[in-house]
Structure 1
Amino acid sequence: MLRRFIYLCRYCYRVFDLLVTALCYLFLRHYVVSEQGPHEKRLLNALLASYNTLERPVANESEPLEVKFGLTLQQIIDVDEKNQLLITNIWLSLEWNDYNLRWNDSEYGGVKDLRITPNKLWKPDVLMYNSADEGFDGTYQTNVVVRNNGSCLYVPPGIFKSTCKIDITWFPFDDQHCDMKFGSWTYDGNQLDLVLKDENGGDLSDFITNGEWYLIGMPGKKNTITYACCPEPYVDVTFTIMIRRRTLYYFFNLIVPCVLISSMALLGFTLPPDSGEKLTLGVTILLSLTVFLNLVAETLPQVSDAIPLLGTYFNCIMFMVASSVVLTVVVLNYHHRTADIHEMPQWIKSVFLQWLPWILRMSRPGKKITRKTIMMNTRMRELELKERSSKSLLANVLDIDDDFRHAPPPPNSTASTGNLGPGCSIFRTDFRRSFVRPSTMEDVGGGLGSHHRELHLILRELQFITARMKKADEEAELISDWKFAAMVVDRFCLFVFTLFTIIATVAVLLSAPHIIVQ
């Protein structure tokens, strides 16, 4: 009895399981058939049986078909300045009403929309006019969403490569406006009318920010143009992508190193000429700047329409560094000049020894240069020239008041020895001895002749010694003047080039439309 009961229970469980399975199958089968089963197939057959993809879907052929056009900017992939191209990731949006794709959803099991491949339907041949893509059309063919009222929505994504006129005048502080012109390739404005889907322009809600460019906006505009090829007007929609370059990278990687290199060139004017490294420092800085500019040239756009602002700044700094090397050579030339090779012109004395030191507040040890001393030195030089022109040759040579032949004769002598000064008392002694009364006439003639010859020889020797001492003093003073002139040129170049670097940097930053965009 127990075995029969267990067997009966198992049998009843199997029957119940089969009944539940059958009921579920019937329920699900009934649900699918009533909602999306053969109704969608029947609807597709009914719509596409007599559908012609070449037919413009309008109720009245004399009226244009209105197509709402818009786009969604996803990402700015790249801006190629050298080839003047803009590469973007964009979703297009085309919406129109197809007169031949309408149905009553109650007759087809409540089916209100369909997804149909675009090659089975008519769709507007909207293309980007300024496309630079190899296949010209870079969109991906997606399905068209068709609703029961005939509304068709076509949203093809794509990678668009468009031409863009790049203006590098203010590089790297530049703004770029790149146009993307969309329109029908074959339908004129009387057959197809493009309308902006959003008057504000493109959709930027899903835009992914770019590390190099900042998106300002993307306005759109509808244009009606009559081309030379065709008398009919053609309608297009032009979107302008307005972008601004982020300058933080260029500021810290191009401008700041260039300013630092130019500042090192200024330090060369503070280096003493006797160190031997003055010219070496200038040439090394010039070579380092040249290598740096070669690296920067790869970043700058290779176009000849305009000179970039950054390129102008680099050229100014390059000119400044090259000029500093040239002026360093001039300074070294002045510093190592000697009196037996070069004579300092009067204009150099006036400019580099008087006026420039006074302007630059420079002075020599024991010689304070002021405007009063400059005028006094000029007056004394004029008086000295007048005095030298009125004195005799011997007085100028021996630096005495005047020639001894014109001085009054001393007492107890028949001939004058001249007022030769305290340092020339030997002349008076010799003259007194030479004019002692002789015993005979021969002694008179011989004594006078020998003493005159001795005096002449002594004067010649004194003239030679005096000339050598004066020449040595003049040479030492001239060498000191040349060295001071070199120091003045160094100080003047330091002030001028520092001012030039500051003005050039400030002028570049102030002339830019914007300074830093992070």
Structure 2
Amino acid sequence: MPALPSSLVTSLLYGFSLLLTLLNGTHAGTHEKRLLHHLLDNYNVLERPVANESDPLQLSFGLTLMQIIDVDEKNQLLITNIWLKLEWNDMNLRWNSSEYGGVKDLRIPPHRLWKPDVLMYNSADEGFDGTYPTNVVVRSNGSCLYVPPGIFKSTCKIDITWFPFDDQRCEMKFGSWTYDGFQLDVQLQDEAGGDISSFITNGEWDLLGVPGQRNEIYYNCCPEPYIDITFAILIRRKTLYYFFNLIVPCVLIASMALLGFTLPPDSGEKLSLGVTILLSLTVFLNMVAETMPATSDAVPLLGTYFNCIMFMVASSVVSTILILNYHHRNADTHEMSEWIRVVFLYWLPCLLRMSRPGQESYECAPIPGVGGNSEKAKQLNDVELRERSSKSLLANVLDIDDDFRCNHRCNTLPHNPTYYRTVYRQGDDGSIGPVGGGPGRIHETVSHTCLSSSAEYELALILKELRVITDTLRKEDETSEITKDWKFAAMVVDRLCLIIFTLFTIISTVAVLFSAPNFLL
């Protein structure tokens, strides 16, 4: 007999195996159909499947947390993807697998069987129950396994005290809606809580755990206990986003407000810089307020920090107005009081180690009333110098010597010589004038000058003009000194505000951030 080709042998073997598979499948399908008719033809979905109606049905309950979809702080909601896991034993769904071709389990739609009416009590979903009705896996010993997945929207009280360094605890309470504890005994499937082995990490929240607890509560209305299983989802906010998008810009804007104190008042931008920074902080505070729930129970930590910085910037604007007011004062509009002079020209410059231009060291300037004799002596010396310069100018105009001796022109005058005697009075304020009234020291100068009557008149006019010029120059010097005092007082206030607000910004930043319970975690 000739040998068959190898390809034909392979085809025959494949066809034979396929035929066996079809025969076995048909045989198994027949048994399963027969089993379903046996189990469901007389099955009542309203009957609680227990042998004795006085005994409670044992229900094992657990869940698997797959994903945290969203934490809505504004509406105080938690949206999660969860698989529930319910196991119970139905005495009406038992069979001998050997009688039905070795069929050990069945997949039956939940509406064809009795199943516990377990719902989430704190659901915020529009349909209240967000689970998908998957098939129930029924085994030959009567055990039923129901694992419905669902998108759960639950209420959660969001505590924003430590935002954005906060931990949240969101509870999900499950229990039977109609059966009490004597009819349905719900037990926690795993004492450790929910299953998080398949959890998908969230970009905003870290999952700390899902502990579970069985609660048996007696209400005043009913003597029966009501049992629920409560799972607490513990989450911690990731602060990287908020740190780089809210905290760092706030610190930088606050530092810009501090740099405003180093800006010269004459630049004209000192006040506008502070107002612009204040508006910028207001925009950032509105961004934070949009993400926060409208509640008065607590103030978020970040909002507290922003309010501190905003208070600092608003105070800096007020201080800038005071600084500009001091800087632009002069002798014609304001008179510096004694306490302002003592505080802003003597004490504060000494404490802040400030000195005026030309001052060699940071030695504290003498306070008025202490060392006053030296100041008066200095003023008298200035008066004497002005007097000498005036006499020298007069000698130059009249072409005479400083000692008022007659020069060579005096001998050529046709007139008889007359003697000119001038008496000056120096007042307590340093002014010099002719004798006429008021206390002061008398300076008498006798000039044996050969002058005519017309020369005497011209000399009097010249002396009058010189006094006017001297008084004007003296008043301009005094006015300039007063203006310089006001500007230096403005510089002192500027330096004082820079130091105070810098310390306030650093201390408030460190105090607020390090007060968070998990800032360094």
Superposed displacement of residue 472, structure 1: 2.3
Superposed displacement of residue 69, structure 1: 0.4
Superposed displacement of residue 72, structure 1: 0.2
Q: 1:191 to 1:456 in 2, by over 3 A?
A: farther
Establish whether residue 169 from structure 1 lines up as the match of residue 173 from structure 2: no
Aligned partners of 2:76 and 2:293 also within 8 Å: no
Aligned partners of 2:278 and 2:314 also within 8 Å: yes
Superposed displacement of residue 137, structure 1: 0.2
CA deviations 1:454-507 (Å, max 9, x no partner) are 999999888766654443222111111001011111111111111111111111
Residue 472 of structure 1 is matched in structure 2 by 476
Between the aligned partners of 1:33 and 1:418, the Cα distance in structure 2 is 140
Give the structure-1-normalised TM-score.
Answer: 0.81
Aligned partners of 1:406 and 1:418 also within 8 Å: no
**2:252 aligned to 237, 244, 260, which one?**
260
Q: In terms of mean alpha carbon deviation, does 182-191 or 259-268 score higher? A: 259-268
Establish whether residue 333 from structure 1 lines up as the match of residue 325 from structure 2: yes
Residue 139 of structure 2 is matched in structure 1 by 147
CA deviations 1:188-222 (Å, max 9, x no partner) are 01111111111000000000000011101110000
Establish whether residue 311 from structure 1 lines up as the match of residue 303 from structure 2: yes
**2:370 aligned to 367, 371, 379, which one?**
379
Residue 74 of structure 1 is matched in structure 2 by 66
How many residues align structurally?
467
Residue 135 of structure 1 is matched in structure 2 by 127
Aligned partners of 1:127 and 1:137 also within 8 Å: yes
Establish whether residue 281 from structure 1 lines up as the match of residue 273 from structure 2: yes
Residue 483 of structure 1 is matched in structure 2 by 487
Residue 31 of structure 1 is matched in structure 2 by 24
Q: In terms of mean alpha carbon deviation, does 330-339 or 199-208 score higher? A: 330-339
Q: Which amino acid aligns with 2:103?
A: V
Superposed displacement of residue 63, structure 1: 1.8
Q: 1:284 to 1:330 in 2, by over 3 A?
A: same
Equivalences for residues 235-246 of structure 1 within 5 A: 235-246=227-238
Establish whether residue 62 from structure 1 lines up as the match of residue 54 from structure 2: yes
Residue 199 of structure 2 is matched in structure 1 by 207
CA deviations 1:421-461 (Å, max 9, x no partner) are xxx52xx349x99xxxxxxxxxxxxx9xxx9x999999988
Query: What SS is found at the alignment partner of 1:208?
Result: coil
**2:45 aligned to 49, 53, 56, which one?**
53
Q: 1:125 to 1:456 in 2, by over 3 A?
A: same
Superposed displacement of residue 381, structure 1: 3.9
Aligned partners of 2:168 and 2:234 also within 8 Å: yes
Between the aligned partners of 2:260 and 2:69, the Cα distance in structure 1 is 46
Q: 1:397 to 1:504 in 2, by over 3 A?
A: closer
Between the aligned partners of 2:239 and 2:177, the Cα distance in structure 1 is 39
Q: 1:18 to 1:250 in 2, by over 3 A?
A: closer
CA deviations 1:124-165 (Å, max 9, x no partner) are 100000000000000000111111111110000000000000
Aligned partners of 1:354 and 1:369 also within 8 Å: no
Residue 388 of structure 2 is matched in structure 1 by none
Q: 1:17 to 1:216 in 2, by over 3 A?
A: closer
Q: Provide structure 2 residue ranges, at least 5 long, that are not aligned to the other structure.
A: 380-424
Query: What SS is found at the alignment partner of 1:298?
Result: helix
Q: Provide structure 1 residue ranges, at least 5 long, that are not aligned to the other structure.
A: 1-8, 408-416, 434-446
Q: 1:24 to 1:399 in 2, by over 3 A?
A: closer
Q: % of aligned pairs identical?
A: 68
Between the aligned partners of 1:19 and 1:358, the Cα distance in structure 2 is 111
Superposed displacement of residue 224, structure 1: 0.8
Superposed displacement of residue 284, structure 1: 2.6
**Backbone CA RMSD of aligned residues:** 3.6
Between the aligned partners of 1:18 and 1:205, the Cα distance in structure 2 is 47
Establish whether residue 93 from structure 1 lines up as the match of residue 125 from structure 2: no
Residue 497 of structure 1 is matched in structure 2 by 501
Equivalences for residues 315-394 of structure 1 within 5 A: 315-367=307-359, 373-374=365-366, 377-381=368-372
Query: What SS is found at the alignment partner of 1:250?
Result: helix
Q: 1:485 to 1:61 in 2, by over 3 A?
A: same
CA deviations 1:241-275 (Å, max 9, x no partner) are 00011000000001101111111111111111122
Q: Which amino acid aligns with 2:162?
A: W
Q: Which amino acid aligns with 1:248?
A: L
Q: 1:395 to 1:69 in 2, by over 3 A?
A: same
Residue 428 of structure 2 is matched in structure 1 by 396
Aligned partners of 2:136 and 2:147 also within 8 Å: yes
Give the structure-2-normalised TM-score.
Answer: 0.81
Q: In terms of mean alpha carbon deviation, does 203-212 or 322-331 score higher? A: 322-331
Aligned partners of 1:74 and 1:208 also within 8 Å: yes
Aligned partners of 1:282 and 1:325 also within 8 Å: yes
Between the aligned partners of 1:18 and 1:248, the Cα distance in structure 2 is 65
Aligned partners of 2:118 and 2:177 also within 8 Å: yes
Q: 1:268 to 1:372 in 2, by over 3 A?
A: closer
Residue 190 of structure 1 is matched in structure 2 by 182
Between the aligned partners of 1:272 and 1:19, the Cα distance in structure 2 is 101
Q: 1:490 to 1:127 in 2, by over 3 A?
A: same
Q: 1:18 to 1:84 in 2, by over 3 A?
A: closer
Between the aligned partners of 2:239 and 2:31, the Cα distance in structure 1 is 60
Q: In terms of mean alpha carbon deviation, does 138-147 or 228-237 score higher? A: 228-237
Bigger proportion of residues as helix:
1
Superposed displacement of residue 102, structure 1: 1.2
Superposed displacement of residue 111, structure 1: 0.9
